[in-house]
Amino acid sequence: MIGLNIEKNINRHKNIALLKVKATFSLGSNIAVLGPSGIGKTTFLKILGGLVTPDRGTIFVGGQKWNDASIGFTLPAKERKVGFVFQDYALFPHLTVERHLRYGTKDEAYLKKLLTIMKLEGLEKHLPHQLSGGQQQRLAIARALSTRPSVLLMDEPFSAQDKAMKKEIIGELCQLQQELSISSFIATHYVEEVTGIIDQVLEIV
């Protein structure tokens, strides 16, 4: 079970607003994080990833405490087994596709599987600037998966994909998530683009 009961003061449309989330989710489920631009979806993902600390409240994942603001406790990001797909991809410009994935895994079979799933075969020696926007986005997803995370956080992860590619990689991604028992939070403006893979919805207002 994933249990969230957090509050964070954030800048929203040049005003201070309260981001408040109280919800529980099943482990291994896919959760769509919905809400208009600027509402706090990215901040929420960063809180889960340990990159931002909530002002109040607690986070528990599978019985492990990740945050408890009442005692000033925050589990370091590196101890959370989280994969993060940033909206701007955050790729390393000097690393090839292959080296991005080797950063997270030494398992050759798994590395090749990620290349296949994300349609990056034949691009192993390419640098990010040599890839299209869609390929860069798929590399960001593959890199996040390379560490075999327990929780996958994705910020608008399919925005650069055409309809056919999106459908194909979402199907492959779902199968891998089931194999590895990964829980995922997918921030998006459009629930339609993740319809069919979502188990639960979290709407931030």
The per-residue pLDDT for range 54-95, each reduced to its tens digit, is: 999 999 999 999 999 999 999 999 999 999 999 999 999 999
Give me 9's structure tokens.
Answer: 């003061």
CB neighbour class for 47 (10 Å; exposed up to 12, middle 13-18, buried from 19): buried
Q: How far apart are CA 140 and CA 100, in angstroms?
A: 9
Closest by Cα among 142, 62, 68, 66 to 102: 142
pLDDT score for 197 = 83
| Residue ranges in the chain assigned as alpha helix (H) | 41-48, 97-102, 108-117, 133-146, 163-180
Half-sphere exposure of 28 (CA within 13 A, CB side): 6
pTM as predicted: 0.94
Residue 130 confidence (pLDDT) above 90: yes
- pLDDT tier at 13 (50, 70, 90 boundaries)? confident
Q: Where are the domains of the chain?
A: 2-203
Residues 23-52: what's their mean pLDDT? 95
pLDDT tens for each residue of 60-71:
999 999 999 999
Q: Considering the domain 2-203 in this protein, what is its CATH number?
A: 3.40.50.300
Among residues 181, 199, 198, 151, the alpha carbon closest in space to that of 50 is found at 151
> Token digits for 19?
């981001």
Length of the chain: 205
What is the average pLDDT value for the chain, to the nearest integer?
A: 94
Counting DSSP H helices and E strands in the chain, the numbers are 5, 10
